[in-house]
Chain A
Amino acid sequence: MEWEVVIGLEVHAQLKTKSKIFSGASTQYGAEPNTQACAIDLGFPGVLPVLNKEVVDMAIRLGLGIDAKIAANSVFARKNYFYPDLPKGYQISQFELPIVGVGHLDIMLEDGTPKRIGITRAHLEEDAGKSLHEDFLDSTGIDLNRAGTPLLEIVSEPDMRSAKEAVAYLKVLHSLVRYLGICDGNMQEGSFRCDANVSVRKKGAEKFGTRTETKNLNSFRYIEKAINYEVERQIGVIESGGTITQETRLYNPDKNETRPMRSKEEANDYRYFPDPDLLNLVVTAEQIEKVRKSCLNYHNKNYNVSWKSMA
């Protein structure tokens, strides 16, 4: 039996701003725990978010870089769930109306043929803090320095057909965001991280197979290995008569395997609704033009030329 692999990627690119997306606290990496979190990041009573305008220009840059439509009107929504490193009990994100719409990136396959990968959307959101499970005996530490760090989540179409293609796409995107000056691309520090949606189907089948989402992928090498592991696992399950469960899985680089997250961790109804503390995000044609002029040479086609010459 011949199998076709279908991969879509969600990339979280941390935007290179000095301060957080909704507060004035610093985004500098590596500070002592909880020294870069203000009352707003800590979710204190009565505090309110104010959008850092810089992130809007950065999102527009990405939009221009992937030939995407930039929404004149986008909406911040609350994604509600409880977790100790999520101080407000909700994450401010964009849900139904993201700032960046449909676009694409061109990659080059190993044999030198070009391929266009569709991008569904990119939206702005805040990062959560970190739970430190290892450092304390019988308890968990919470570091909220990262809480409120601006992220651009870039969601691709399920257009990739192998782990190698996925990595090729990620490498182009990784260079693009650095080239645009919107993300430092530091994967070790988590500034550029990725979740992979993977499924398999019989060659020629029209319908997609059931997909799994593998999280926590922070190096090109691990991404390739994790996808390949997941593909083999799924084919194995189906060929031995089983079915794939739609679930979220975590990649463990030490064991080179993925395992399902506990169902409790994913059985969430996020109860999205527009955040009443923030106005709709309005982007004017003038603003887009201004950003375009400030980064004329970053345009996708020109850019790909420069990437190819870099490679």
Chain B
Amino acid sequence: MSYKTIASIANDLATKKVSSVEITKYYLERIKKFDKDLNSFITVNEDAALSSAKAADALIASGKAHPLTGVPIAQKDIFCTKGIKTSCGSKMLDNFVSPYNASTIDNYNAAGVVMLGKTNMDEFAMGSSNETSFYGPCKNPWDTQTVPGGSSGGSSAAVAADLAPAATGTDTGGSIRQPAAFTGICGLKPTYGRVSRYGMIAFASSLDQGGIFARSAKDTAMLLNVMAGFDEKDSTSVNVEVPDYTANLNDSLKGKKIGLPKEFFNQHLDNSMAAAIQDAIKEFEKLGASVHEISLPHSDLSVPAYYVIAPAECSSNLARFDGVRYGHRCENPKDLVDLYERSRAEGFGEEVKRRIMVGTYALSAGYYDAYYLKAQKVRGLIRDDYKKAFEDVDIIMGPTTPSTAFKIGEKAADPISMYLSDIYTISVNLAGLPGISIPAGFVNNMPIGLQMISPYFKESLLLNFAHQYQTATDWHTKTPEGF
């Protein structure tokens, strides 16, 4: 399969080799052809896509286009889109059409980027396999018996199968980086506060961050230029200038220090995975960087702390889905309590209910100090671990996941084993740091991801490292057969 990059499409549009309508139709055709089986999209609105493609073509013709005007991408179905269904992968919002756009959707619209459709995801972004979606599991194009990861599984599968040249995602505990690793593409989770959360349906507000799936570091940088930025509608967004993320891609890595946390190469990691990651790190040594062992001593506490904080916040964030104003409402409620109980029992799936229950418990009188407060203290320790580590190194690397993509159904009945698939990504959310996963080889013909973590707001550095690696290697150009 040959694929197109954002950079090449942008170039073809600018030089009028292709029109936005043509390239949009190309992807819509591919979606029609391949997505019945893959199930990476929840909603494809051809008319809306083509009408924005037409508008983009007019803008290009008028000479007033942004570098990405007319480029089509897919949006995770967690971002509210005015006039087009936003389901968040849930029966609860199967009938929900937002009256407003998420701020990031506005950003993409303002740049003239075309939306192909809304991608499949774990329900309310709770899951690591896309199996909790009300719309059914999405498949991994590298092996359709396996999961594409989650929660942004639809976005990762769509980009891996070239049903879209890029897509957005959200990452609360690894929901961009883990699916990117499982499907052999790039996935960037920016610094908490770099990308607006307004209109991005909340799972765990202090951890959620929107980001990008693309083929290459360069494509990711081009999209981040559009997606990132301060938003006065989001009090947690940070007013830091948005640099041109493509500007430092070609910087030399000579003299840069890479830290390898010994805790990331532990008993959870497959041996063949460990070897592949070590190979990838050798490439960076060839590029002039030096490698140092470091320690993040509280790493083993990140999963337990996360599974207190994230459910606690979700139990409160999801209280608004009560059947009163929008979303699913049960038939013929006999009174108020019945309305609440049945609407929520029918509208939410099992994993969402599990987390609401856990979170409600963790915040309850008598348990708050033992669970929520303690988890927040652990979060502080994890943040300090990273802070200390970055006094000695420029960037931290390790595997994105402990293994390659698992089989559909394999972990669905075992939540703890599912939760552990995010063991290397979760601490990055707890610390609020930026992280990226890039393709770094294969184990048993399945792609693996190298995770890189930088200090706050140093996305440019992550993209610089990623681009240099992709200049020296070709893992990111590999595509699954049959698409």
Note whether A and B form a binding pair: yes
Residue A278 at the chain B interface, CB threshold 8 Å? yes
In the complex the two chains form, what is the Cα distance from A48 to B322 in whole Å? 18
A89 with B322: CB separation less than 8 A: yes
When distances are taken between beta carbons in the complex, the residues of chain A under 8 Å from B198 are 46-48
Interface contact A273-B312, CB-CB below 8 Å: yes
- Tell me which of A76-84, A206-214, A235-243, A301-309 binds B: A76-84
The residues of B that contact A181 with a CB separation of less than 8 Å are none
Q: Which of B305-352 contact A (CB under 8 A)?
A: 312-313, 315-316, 318-322, 324-326, 336, 340
Q: Contacts A44-B98, A87-B320 known; A273 to B363 CB distance under 8 Å?
A: yes
User: Is residue A244 contacting chain B, with contact meaning CB distance below 8 A?
Assistant: no
- Taking CB as reference atom, which chain B residue is nearest A85? B324
On whether the beta carbons of A88 and B206 are closer than 8 Å, the reply is no
Contact A278 B199 (CB under 8 A): no
With a CB–CB cut-off of 8 A, which chain B residues contact A51?
235
Nearest chain B CB to A93 CB, angstrom units: 13
Name the residue on A nearest B361 (C-beta). Answer: A271
Identify which of B38-46, B113-121, B364-372 touches chain A: B364-372
Interface residue B99 (Cβ < 8 Å from any Cβ of A): yes
* B283, chain A: closest CB distance, angstroms: 39
- Which of B102, B320, B364 is close to A269, meaning CB atoms less than 8 Å apart? B364
Contacts of A47 in B (CB 8 A): 100, 198-199
Complex alpha-carbon distance, A48 and B340, angstroms: 23
**CB–CB B236/A82 < 8 A:** no
**In the bound complex, how far is the Cα of B364 from the Cα of A50, in angstroms?**
27
- Is residue B183 within 8 Å, beta carbon to beta carbon, of the partner chain? no
* Chain A contacts for B201, CB-based, 8 A: 45-46
B3: Cβ under 8 A from any A Cβ: no
Q: State whether B102 touches A84 (Cβ < 8 A).
A: no
For A43, give its contact among B312, B325, B368 (CB under 8 Å): B325
Interface SS of chain B? loop
Once the chains are docked, how many angstroms separate the CA of A180 from the CA of B353?
A: 48
Alpha-carbon distance between A24 and B320 when the two chains are bound, in angstroms: 20
Is A45 a contact of B232 with CB atoms below 8 Å?
Answer: no
Report A-chain residues with C-beta under 8 Å of the C-beta of B321. Answer: 45
A243 to B201, CA, bound (A): 49
> Residues of A contacting B236 with CB < 8 Å?
48, 276-279
Partner of A45, one of B80, B206, B360, B364: B80
Complex contact B319–A89 (CB within 8 A): yes
- The reply to whether B372 and A45 form a contact with Cβ atoms under 8 Å apart is no
Give min CB distance, B229 to chain A, whole Å: 15
A39 within 8 A of B: yes
Asked if B396 is at the interface (CB within 8 A of a chain A CB), the reply is no
Of chain B, the residue at the smallest CB distance from A80 is B316
Q: Is the CB of B98 within 8 A of A82?
A: no
In the bound complex, do residue B202 and residue A39 qualify as a contact, i.e. CB atoms below 8 Å apart? no
**Residue A142 at the chain B interface, CB threshold 8 Å:** yes
A44-B316 in contact (CB<8A): no
Residues of chain A contacted by B360 (CB below 8 angstroms) = 271
Q: Is the interface of A mostly helix, strand, loop or mixed?
A: loop
A42 CB–B CB distance under 8 Å: yes
Inter-chain contact B86/A276, CB cutoff 8 Å: no
Known contacts A48-B197, A279-B236; is A271 also within 8 Å of B98 by CB? no
Q: Which chain B residue has the least Cβ–Cβ distance from A275? A: B205
Residues of B within 8 A of A42 (CB): 325
Q: Once the chains are docked, how many angstroms separate the CA of A82 from the CA of B79?
A: 25
In the complex, are the beta carbons of A89 and B80 less than 8 A apart? no
In the complex, are the beta carbons of B320 and A45 less than 8 A apart? yes
Smallest CB gap from A142: residue in B: B324
Q: Of residues 81 to 113 in B, which have CB atoms within 8 Å of A's CB atoms? A: 86, 88, 93, 96, 98-100, 102
Complex alpha-carbon distance, A69 and B303, angstroms:
40
Complex-state Cα separation, A51 to B233, whole angstroms: 10
What residues of chain A lie closer than 8 Å to B88, measured between beta carbons?
45
Q: In the complex the two chains form, is B320's CB within 8 Å of A88's CB?
A: yes
A39-B99, A48-B233, A279-B236 given; A271·B316 CB < 8 A: yes
Let me know if A49 is at the binding interface, CB within 8 A: yes
Contacts of A87 in B (CB 8 A): 320, 324-325
In the bound assembly, the distance between CA atoms of A47 and B363 in angstroms comes to: 23
Q: Is the CB of A229 closer than 8 A to any CB of chain B?
A: no
Residue of B nearest to A264 (CB): B337
Q: How far apart sit A153 and B236, CA to CA, in the bound complex (Å)? A: 26
Whether the pair B316, A89 counts as a contact (CB closer than 8 A) is yes
**Interface presence of B410 (CB below 8 A):** no
User: Are B372 and A273 in touch, CB under 8 angstroms?
Assistant: yes
| Separation of A89 and B315 alpha carbons in the complex (Å) | 10
Question: A222 on the interface (CB 8 Å rule)?
Answer: no
The closest CB in chain B to the CB of A278 belongs to B235
User: Which of B198, B325, B326 counts the most chain A CB atoms within 10 A?
Assistant: B325
A273 to B311, CA, bound (A): 13
Contact A39–B100 (Cβ < 8 Å): yes
Partner of A78, one of B235, B316, B318, B368: B316
What distance in Å separates the Cβ of B428 from its nearest Cβ neighbour in chain A? 17
What is the CA–CA distance of A279 and B235 in the complex, to the nearest angstrom? Answer: 7
Q: Which residues of B contact A48 (CB under 8 A)?
A: 197-198, 233-236
Q: Looking across the interface, which residue of chain B has its beta carbon closest to that of A78?
A: B316
B200 within 8 A of partner (CB) = yes
Find residues 240-286 in chain A having any chain B CB closer than 8 Å to their own CB.
Answer: 269, 271-273, 276-279
Does A179 interact with chain B (Cβ within 8 Å)?
A: no
Instruction: Give the residue of B102, B204, B315, B372 whose beta carbon is less than 8 angstroms from that of A46.
Output: B102
Most buried by B among A39, A90, A276: A276
- Look across to chain B and name the residue whose beta carbon is closest to the beta carbon of A90: B316
**Proximity bits, B453-469, A CB within 8 Å = 1, else 0:** 00000000000000000
When the two chains form the complex, which single residue of B80, B319, B324, B368 contacts A84, counting CB atoms closer than 8 Å? Answer: B324
- Residue picked from A42, A51, A272, A277, most chain B C-beta under 10 Å: A277
Q: How far is the CA of A88 from the CA of B315 in the complex (A)?
A: 11
**Contact partners of A276 in chain B: CB under 8 A:** 204-206, 236, 313
Residue ranges of A at the interface with B (Cβ–Cβ < 8 Å): 39, 42-51, 78, 80, 82, 84, 87-90, 140, 142, 269, 271-273, 276-279
A–B pairs, 17, beta carbons within 8 Å: A39-B99, A44-B99, A45-B93, A45-B98, A45-B320, A46-B79, A46-B202, A47-B100, A47-B199, A48-B236, A82-B319, A90-B319, A271-B365, A273-B372, A276-B206, A279-B235, A279-B236
Known: A46-B201, A88-B319. 11 other contacts (CB 8 A): A39-B100, A42-B325, A44-B98, A45-B93, A45-B98, A45-B320, A46-B80, A46-B98, A46-B197, A47-B199, A49-B235
The list of the 7 closest CB pairs from A to B, nearest first, reads A89-B319, A271-B363, A276-B206, A276-B205, A46-B199, A43-B320, A45-B201
